[in-house]
Each structure stands twice: as C-alpha cells, then as structure tokens.
Structure 1
Amino acid sequence: MRGCTLYIVWATLYRCALDIMIWNSVFLGINILHLSYLLFKKRPVKIEKELKSIYRRLFEPLRVPPDLFKRLTGQFCMIQTLKKGETYAAEDITSVDDRLSILLKGKMKVSYRGHFLHNIYPCAFIDSPEFRSTQMHKGEKFQVTIIADDNCRFLCWSRERLTYFLESEPFLYEIFRYLIGKDITNKLYSLNDPTLNDKMCRPYTSEPLRR
C-alpha cells in the first residue's frame, strides 16, 4: 500500500502520468478493501450473554471457534420459555422428529407412566435420546414426559435444519455426536443410580474451566 501511494504521488506531481496514477489508485483501493476484510474476519466474536454458559461448558473445551458456535446458534434456532408446570413433551403424544434443545435456565423433570426418572439441569440436552433415535426411526413419539419443574429457558433447534447444517460442517457434526452420546450416558447413569442425579447434572456454575 505504501508503494502504491508513493507511485500515485510521483505520477501526479512529477511525471503527470495519468495512466500510472489510475492503475496505482486501483491497486491501492483493492489493498484497502482486502485489509478491511482481514480486519473484519479477525474482529472479536461476541457470544450472547445467555449462551456463554453452554459455550464455555460444552463447546469451548472441544475447541469449537466462537464464530462457528455463533453460526450454529444464530441461524436456525431460538430461545424458548416454559413456565413451571408446563410440558415440554408428553409420552406417546409429542413427536420426536421436530427439535433438539439444550436447557439454559431452570430445571426439568422426566417421568415415565407417572414415575420420576431424573432431572435435567442447565447445559444439558433435553431430548438427546430422542434425537439419537430419529437417526434410525422417524415418526416416533416421546416415551417419557418432560415437565418444567421451574421457570425454564432453553435453546431449541429445528431438527431438520440442524441436520442439514451439521452435514455441511463435519467437525461440528463429530462434536455433536460426542456431546449427545455423553449426555445420553449421563442420563443412563442417573437412572441406574438416582444418587448420582444431582451430582452429575448439577446446575452450571460460572467458575472457569480447569485445564
């Protein structure tokens, strides 16, 4: 850029070379645009305050870049709410094909035929087993009932659009496979040993991750 600028000054003041001045002005403009693009790409990516907890807890330890996380959470998902006592899914009624959600705030209770199974706390998937089952069978219904035990907020993806997006992002696809598998394992552990329920799925705290 400095060279182009000097050529423009030289061509204008000393040589009156219009063609040299024009060409170097064009090159200077292209360099300025390229520099602006690079600065734009390197700008700090701001994650919404409400989503920072799940990024730090789930995605940052797996080296998911902030810009990729923002694409994941910014295009085809929304934050929804449930009041205490409202139903997220009803067994044998609600379809498992529509969505995948992560709890942001509050607590949910999972039951089967009226019998309590386990709780769901922030930074845990709400319906990871059902999401996994839809990869093998479509048209199924929830086999459990999930009810908000507190006022809850959760991040909800359209299952179809999320699947298309993950197919175009192989790295993130593997991340999701790992996170969902781990979440299902935690749920199974809490079923086998109810005393682990509060220990393994306790609410997220803002303490920094130890590495």
Structure 2
Amino acid sequence: MNALVHVANVLFLVSYLVRDILWLRGLTIVAIATLIPYYLANDLWPPIIWNGVFVAINVYQMVRLLIERRPCHLDERQQQLYQRVFRTLQPREFLALAQLGTWRSVAPGEQLVAEGEVLDQLHVIEAGTLEVLVGERSVAELNAGSFVGEMSFLTGEPTSARVVANAGEPRAVEVLSWPREGLRAFLDGHPDTRAALQLILGTDMAAKLRAG
C-alpha cells in the first residue's frame, strides 16, 4: 500500500511540471484515485471525503476547459485576423472576442480617427492600409494586423494624430472595432483573454515604437 502513496506523489509532482492546465487537472485526478485504496485500507474517511470534493471540482473544471476548446468555425475574415494577430488565444476565445466587435469598411480617403479625439472604440486592421497624419504630414502607415488608437483607448487621453484610409488603396480598408465599455465588461469576465490581449497590444505598441 505504501507504494501507492509514492506513485500518487510522483503523479502530483508531474502534474505540477506540466504547462497545460487540462493535463494538470487530469493528472491530479489520477493521483487522488491512486490514493483512495490506501485511505480505504486504513479506514481514513476524512481524506476520502475531501479528496472526493477535490476530484469533483477538477472534473467540473476539465469539462469547462473541454467545452471551451471545442473546434469552432471562423469565417474567412476572422481566420485571417486570428492567424495574423490572435494566435495566442484559443480559437473559441477569439471567436467570442470577435463576435463582440463590429466589422467596418473604411473607404479610401475616409477618416477613421480624428486628432484630439478621446476614443471610445479599439480598432484592428484586417485588410488594407491606414495612414497616420499629424496636421497634413504623414508620419506612419498602419498595415493589416495593426491596432489603431490603442493608447487613447487604454489611457483615455486624446489622440495625437488622425488616421485615414490610404487614398491610394484600390478598395476599402477592413477593420474590426470594439466598444470601450463592452470590451472592458467582457474582459472582466474573461481574465485569461484579458491577459492575452494585453500582451498582444503590448507587442503591437513595441513594434510601432521600433518602427518609429
């Protein structure tokens, strides 16, 4: 029976080494199940009851994870944006995030963001090129996969430039836009998605600083 204790503790050790939370919970359940015969042989009912509770919690969380990781269908625009920007999210997490936003076509020469505006939306470019202007001077171009106005969106400060669709574009620029309050409420309920999005935004801002 003592061998079961050693086996269970090895399984606990392995579970702490894996990165995938699903594997961690699965190994924990197996480790607990390995201990049950030892507890029964020694008539240790309190550990049996408490470990039963731990198993139930882990099974519930595993079911939630499996539901979240089910394959999901992304349309063509969603798939392109996911592959370009959001691959650190699970596809189903990205789908929920994308469905919260609104697709918008910005015609060549049309303004998306005004200078000095406090943005109530966050934008990301799916296709096309936007031009960043200070006054009438072009200071940067934003291509597919770039976020627009993220600093103003995050800080609540007015924008320092205006953003327009490149007049030389043969077709409209496609962007996905999220409302500030709706996005914040969604992220408050999905902390893992919030952490991933913060990393994505940080990477985007760092790339812009290097390019500038």
Normalising by the residue count of structure 2, what TM-score does the alignment of the two structures yield?
0.63
Q: Write the distance in 2 (CA, Å) between the matches of 1:111 and 1:49.
A: 31
Over 6 Å off, 4+ runs: none
| Structure 2 residue ranges without an equivalent (≥5) | 1-62
Deviations 1:41-87 (A, max 9, x none): 47530011111122112222x2x21111111111x311001110000
RMSD between aligned alpha carbons? 2.1
Letter in 1 for 2:98: T
2:174 equivalent among 153, 160, 166: 153
Q: Write the distance in 2 (CA, Å) between the matches of 1:181 and 1:58.
A: 12
2:129 equivalent among 83, 89, 107: 107
Instruction: Find the residue that maps to 2:148 and give its secondary structure.
Output: coil
Normalising by the residue count of structure 1, what TM-score does the alignment of the two structures yield?
0.63
**Contact 1:53–1:123 at 8 Å: present in 2 too?**
no
Q: Write the distance in 2 (CA, Å) between the matches of 1:187 and 1:111.
A: 15
Q: Write the distance in 2 (CA, Å) between the matches of 1:174 and 1:133.
A: 17
Is it true that 1:163 corresponds to 2:188 in the alignment? no
**Could you tell me the percent identity over the aligned residues?**
22
Name the counterpart of 1:44: 71
Name the counterpart of 1:179: 200
Q: Write the distance in 1 (CA, Å) between the matches of 2:199 and 2:84.
A: 14
Is it true that 1:123 corresponds to 2:123 in the alignment? no
Whose relative contact order is higher, 1 or 2, with alpha carbons under 8 Å and at least 6 apart?
1
Name the counterpart of 2:93: 68
Query: Number of residues paired by the alignment?
Result: 144
Q: Write the distance in 2 (CA, Å) between the matches of 1:167 and 1:107.
A: 31
| Structure 1 residue ranges without an equivalent (≥5) | 1-36, 135-139, 192-211
Residue 113 (structure 1) shift: 2.2
